[in-house]
Structure 1
């Protein structure tokens, strides 16, 4: 059982050697090197809290360490094994006086024996029983996929099985293929980056949607773009208020119905005149805000859409459509049913106090509500089916417009503590823990993202199925996936409840297994993977990802060589290079020092405003000087000229992918997200607008000279270097 740390008085005490050893054995860092170069000793209280959340009894660390070492030997087979094709081995623990027989059930249903080579195995006595560790190589010719190993332990001289076990065996590709590109581009490609909710059209319901995504992809593809990177479209709340941040979703597996276009659902064509009029009436007030450049109102948009979608849901479906829905429901199984039930419970308890039993998916109350709310569960399952269809249509439109990659999704680091995943997969998450980041130069108190971390050993016991299913769903209708904070596949900063973010510690994950699963699902989908590896990331991690064919990321303003911009020729090849990111102002705003103005207005500056402006000005002038040195900028350059020159500068890099922010292509100046703020700034709620503050709609883009000029400059420069 977890250790009760409620009365411990070791919050700031240094841990003893036994506790350090126990923590490290479970992947918990007892010390680490800070961003500032200091070697930090993690307090004993933090180690006890983290171990307790993992279900580890740390009351006697020496005994706990012995249990860790013995537990692996007690298992005939490990919980799961993830290997690279052509390599890897399996550790089998056999009792003295016994033989073992191993078979593999391949993913295609066929069987094959797993031979055990002669060897001198290691021996250990556990619980008074002598055990042998047998190392079994995974056959080099085993195909990629999800297989199962079955073991029978047989006593000498007896014919029957004495004990048996099974485990998941995942065979993954050594390396993913490079990103595809158009002929004549030298194996490189460029694409647009957009916050989908902000990109509206005259058909929108006050917020960008999957129909707008399809149109934007067609426009970009026609101009030479090969991908369209969008914000995470994970599902959030289904009742108000809806969390604005796409990086704090309720689930990372299923899609936000907020992005549906009701009129594009096939059954909408068969509504009665009265129902059609009702849908039009629901849309009118929120559609009137499509030209409003000030703020996206998710709650109003979803209230109108949900009412309209309920009308369409009641419309009869053809036999073929009904079969398609049923097939989708069967394919996604219990996880879809549980997510839909969570949505129904959110509605059922909206505005009231939820009983404790309702937070337990295994309670009798939840079982009763599953039956009682069956109609609402059906509705939310249907919403996911429609979302899958409309997202698939967007990916098809991207490919038909010439894109070689198409839609590029973004995977958030984690989920909301009270969201669907944390509820339905409760055993997969650490209770009383959230993830974040340790102190750095930008956040000297550290960061708490208020997301529960996955339990490393729970993932291993589950055969990494939750990770597989999440990646597989996201790549179902996409050509690429960006992983936000990919270092989370290697380690995460855990913060025990009730203490500051600076008092947490790192917890290691099995990156070989997690990256392997990611690579396998990407290989099967023919998808490109990009890992956001900015910040405090060890160089070996970047090298490892590159060796597996996973691209990194770079942002122009962050790439420095001392006090000068880093020469683009020194950028990595396996990279998505961009001028900016959603946590920075658009380039026009950055050049105008609007990030300093905003931070000063919000009281976020940690230095005098004049000093901050001087630094921003020096950074800008240094970049402009670098552009002039390369002949990319004339003496009387306009703002648009500078933005084009910055992108041409990046094209001189060998990086395989180049991202162009849509905000830069229309002259927007406002940042989408101001780090360090919550309600002080409308984060993730800023509509797309031009340099004059006028709303820009999808229909405006084909006729926008500024948009066309930047797209043409990037496309021509990339082809010239091809």
Structure 2
């Protein structure tokens, strides 16, 4: 069993920090089954292992080969084999025969094909040549971390939209000298009412959600006929009332109400004839996006008829390549066309937002967030079901912080199927994420090395790690990022296997460092250690005070985050113990900030001193949580809650909890005061002389 598991990249033990823990046999059987391997009996195990070994021995080439530019890559093939590389531009490279072939170091970057001939046998495999390292960032810079939905303007329809994003980028760059703007995932949400507001459990990571569209920014808005224009005006007035409701004290964003208004408005605009130039642009977009767009739009149309869980659809509709789906697509052609058009509008407005950031002088611009997975019932799971593991959910093993482990409810890539597909679905996903971005943030970047698989019906404690070909996963990521001209930031918080951060740094991928977690764990001041001195921080990171899953800076400094978790019954220890630990942590930081001369000994800690500390580190990027500029004490997401707390529905608010608009936020003194401390980089707009 152990040999079979290891042959398929399945770990048979894991270490939560207190020593190795064996993985149970029933977990191994379930995980191997998800990989198409029968291990249900000793005889089945022996048969599967023999079959695997025989298949590996019979294969002359691997399913996919990923090489690094500038490095020779060994390839063990018979001496008499003839090798040809067909480059992606169609040119052929002949390689001389030899006992052990070497792929040349000067192969051009790209997706090529390696062909082998041996007597009457012929094989081929995708050959991906990736850059050895991503280019360095254009100097040091800072930027805001923002949840777009939470940043309403006086013009948006009840939640922040892509035109607000452009405004936020232009203001933060032009007035404050920000170099980037990092966002929450803008992925398409699973349909249904009430919808799941979490941006980390989307229906599709490939396409954005049309709820982010600015209706008035659709060019056809100016050409709507009299009846459509009158109805659009009515919808606009309803949106005004909805926005005012959100901006009341303790108001919440109602995503479903926003989408109901926008959907009707967008349907009206979809009916407006396009000029020949616009039509040509639309058709070019459809051709570029290809089959995945067609299948995504089809899924959206079918979900409107049969519900958002494709597992419950009529049997003939559960595979995108079935004849029944082709017939249903033809019958629902208008609905499919509408969803294709929505995807185009999103692509245009995302592109406009990145151009606005660049033209305002941002050296990086927008940083888009790529969630670790997509909802098992959604569009991506339907389209990609042949390369995703059925009956498996991604999560995290038990550790010192969570004895029960975590189950995120997201199906993982099958490493074998992904390799057999030449990593094409993964590459296309990355290509889409990077298209209108200066950088992409990879959520749970450790998942490129291994993921914790939890079989359906099992608790998170009964999972195991499944390993991926990290060289291939990182290589495909590097190639797509290089070609798009984007940087890459990995979210590497939590349990990280030794060597992972070092490998990411060597490839030019930045990590994420949060001030409160950076401790001198090897120190002698206690189990938790003292604050890590700024000079010992890593340079290759985005450094910040908080994230969407953590308390705001205001709440951490006041201790309000402990009280909130106490009120919701989330504390694992007595309130007094938690309060004492939080106070001790602040005392540690007070001493460190005083030592560095960033704080007077008798003064309380303030955000300015903390950001001054980040500035003293060598971190290449400094992230400012946008709500910190107005003293918002509330976290956007409180892990461990579902309906007890309004996760992902809070507009940015001031210290009293009163929501503020983008216009009010820009006029408040907090942002200007923080920006004055940070490395402003006001560069000429791109194209300016």
Bin for the TM-score computed over the shorter chain = over 0.9
Alpha carbons 1:584, 1:590 under 8 Å: kept: no
Matched, 1:24 2:6: yes
When the two chains are superposed, the root-mean-square deviation of aligned CA atoms in Å is 1.9
Alpha carbons 1:75, 1:93 under 8 Å: kept: no
Alpha carbons 2:142, 2:680 under 8 Å: kept: no
Shift of the 351–534 alpha-carbon distance from structure 1 to 2, 3 Å rule, reads: closer
Matched, 1:300 2:257: yes
1:151 CA displacement: 2.3
1:363 CA displacement: 3.1
State the match for 2:584 in structure 1.
618
Report the Cα distance in structure 2 between the residues aligned to 1:356 and 1:289, rounded to whole angstroms.
40
Report the Cα distance in structure 1 between the residues aligned to 2:645 and 2:566, rounded to whole angstroms.
13
State the match for 1:704 in structure 2.
668
Unaligned runs of 5+ in 2: 521-527, 684-689
State the match for 2:476 in structure 1.
517
1:102 CA displacement: 2.0
State the match for 2:305 in structure 1.
348
Report the Cα distance in structure 2 between the residues aligned to 1:648 and 1:294, rounded to whole angstroms.
33
Alpha carbons 2:173, 2:682 under 8 Å: kept: no
Report the Cα distance in structure 2 between the residues aligned to 1:44 and 1:248, rounded to whole angstroms.
30
Between stretches 85-94 and 136-145, larger displacement belongs to 85-94
1:633 CA displacement: 1.8
Any idea what the Cα deviations from partners look like across 1:652-704, whole Å, max 9, x if unmatched? 10111111110111211100111111111111111111112221111123311
Q: Match for 1:429 among 388, 397, 402?
A: 388
State the match for 1:207 in structure 2.
159
State the match for 2:65 in structure 1.
81
Shift of the 606–315 alpha-carbon distance from structure 1 to 2, 3 Å rule, reads: same
Q: TM-score, normalised by structure 1?
A: 0.90
Report the Cα distance in structure 2 between the residues aligned to 1:355 and 1:92, rounded to whole angstroms.
48
State the match for 1:680 in structure 2.
644
SS at match of 1:467: helix
State the match for 2:217 in structure 1.
264
Report the Cα distance in structure 2 between the residues aligned to 1:591 and 1:284, rounded to whole angstroms.
41
SS at match of 1:164: strand
1:282 CA displacement: 1.8
1:351 CA displacement: 8.9
Q: Match for 1:69 among 37, 53, 60?
A: 53
Report the Cα distance in structure 1 between the residues aligned to 2:417 and 2:86, rounded to whole angstroms.
23
Q: Match for 1:567 among 502, 511, 533?
A: 533
Any idea what the Cα deviations from partners look like across 1:458-490, whole Å, max 9, x if unmatched? 000000001110111111111000111000000
State the match for 1:289 in structure 2.
242
Shift of the 635–89 alpha-carbon distance from structure 1 to 2, 3 Å rule, reads: closer
1:637 CA displacement: 4.5
Any idea what the Cα deviations from partners look like across 1:259-297, whole Å, max 9, x if unmatched? 001110111100123212212222333332332352111
Report the Cα distance in structure 1 between the residues aligned to 2:465 and 2:409, rounded to whole angstroms.
16
Alpha carbons 1:651, 1:717 under 8 Å: kept: no
Any idea what the Cα deviations from partners look like across 1:235-280, whole Å, max 9, x if unmatched? 1124433221101111111111110011101111001232122122
Alpha carbons 2:74, 2:102 under 8 Å: kept: yes
Alpha carbons 1:74, 1:93 under 8 Å: kept: no
SS at match of 2:591: helix
Report the Cα distance in structure 2 between the residues aligned to 1:715 and 1:506, rounded to whole angstroms.
41
State the match for 1:16 in structure 2.
none
Q: Match for 2:227 among 274, 290, 314?
A: 274
Report the Cα distance in structure 1 between the residues aligned to 2:403 and 2:574, rounded to whole angstroms.
17
1:718 CA displacement: 12
Shift of the 680–209 alpha-carbon distance from structure 1 to 2, 3 Å rule, reads: same
State the match for 2:128 in structure 1.
170
Report the Cα distance in structure 1 between the residues aligned to 2:233 and 2:535, rounded to whole angstroms.
54
SS at match of 1:654: coil
SS at match of 1:170: strand
SS at match of 1:103: strand
Between stretches 617-626 and 283-292, larger displacement belongs to 283-292
1:575 CA displacement: 0.7
State the match for 2:524 in structure 1.
none
> Pairwise mapping of residues 234-633 of structure 1 onto structure 2 (< 5 A)?
234-290=187-243, 291-292=247-248, 293-350=250-307, 354-561=313-520, 562-633=528-599
SS at match of 1:481: strand
Matched, 1:179 2:131: no
Report the Cα distance in structure 2 between the residues aligned to 1:440 and 1:197, rounded to whole angstroms.
33
1:365 CA displacement: 2.4
SS at match of 2:241: helix
Alpha carbons 1:554, 1:577 under 8 Å: kept: yes
Any idea what the Cα deviations from partners look like across 1:561-592, whole Å, max 9, x if unmatched? 24321111110011111011111121001111
Alpha carbons 1:239, 1:346 under 8 Å: kept: no
State the match for 2:31 in structure 1.
50
1:638 CA displacement: 6.7
> Pairwise mapping of residues 120-199 of structure 1 onto structure 2 (< 5 A)?
135-154=100-119, 162-180=120-138, 187-199=139-151
1:715 CA displacement: 3.2
What is the count of residue pairs matched by the alignment? 666
1:362 CA displacement: 3.1
SS at match of 2:651: coil
Between stretches 56-65 and 323-332, larger displacement belongs to 56-65
Unaligned runs of 5+ in 1: 1-18, 120-134, 155-161, 181-186
Report the Cα distance in structure 1 between the residues aligned to 2:173 and 2:280, rounded to whole angstroms.
34
SS at match of 2:206: coil
Shift of the 71–375 alpha-carbon distance from structure 1 to 2, 3 Å rule, reads: same
Report the Cα distance in structure 1 between the residues aligned to 2:344 and 2:225, rounded to whole angstroms.
23
Report the Cα distance in structure 2 between the residues aligned to 1:367 and 1:716, rounded to whole angstroms.
54
Alpha carbons 1:408, 1:481 under 8 Å: kept: yes
SS at match of 1:613: helix
Alpha carbons 1:217, 1:398 under 8 Å: kept: yes
Matched, 1:646 2:610: yes
Matched, 1:100 2:81: yes
State the match for 2:625 in structure 1.
661
Report the Cα distance in structure 2 between the residues aligned to 1:607 and 1:493, rounded to whole angstroms.
27
Report the Cα distance in structure 2 between the residues aligned to 1:596 and 1:718, rounded to whole angstroms.
39
Matched, 1:216 2:168: yes
Any idea what the Cα deviations from partners look like across 1:160-197, whole Å, max 9, x if unmatched? xx2322211000011111111xxxxxx31111100001
Report the Cα distance in structure 2 between the residues aligned to 1:507 and 1:337, rounded to whole angstroms.
32
Report the Cα distance in structure 2 between the residues aligned to 1:373 and 1:100, rounded to whole angstroms.
52
Any idea what the Cα deviations from partners look like across 1:443-468, whole Å, max 9, x if unmatched? 21110000011100000000000111
SS at match of 1:434: strand
SS at match of 1:253: strand
Report the Cα distance in structure 2 between the residues aligned to 1:283 and 1:628, rounded to whole angstroms.
53
Any idea what the Cα deviations from partners look like across 1:579-610, whole Å, max 9, x if unmatched? 11111121001111121111111111110111
Report the Cα distance in structure 2 between the residues aligned to 1:391 and 1:407, rounded to whole angstroms.
10
Report the Cα distance in structure 2 between the residues aligned to 1:679 and 1:287, rounded to whole angstroms.
27
1:636 CA displacement: 6.3
Shift of the 604–510 alpha-carbon distance from structure 1 to 2, 3 Å rule, reads: same
Q: TM-score, normalised by structure 2?
A: 0.94
Report the Cα distance in structure 2 between the residues aligned to 1:286 and 1:276, rounded to whole angstroms.
15
Alpha carbons 2:191, 2:308 under 8 Å: kept: no
Report the Cα distance in structure 1 between the residues aligned to 2:186 and 2:410, rounded to whole angstroms.
17
1:349 CA displacement: 1.8
Report the Cα distance in structure 2 between the residues aligned to 1:281 and 1:93, rounded to whole angstroms.
70
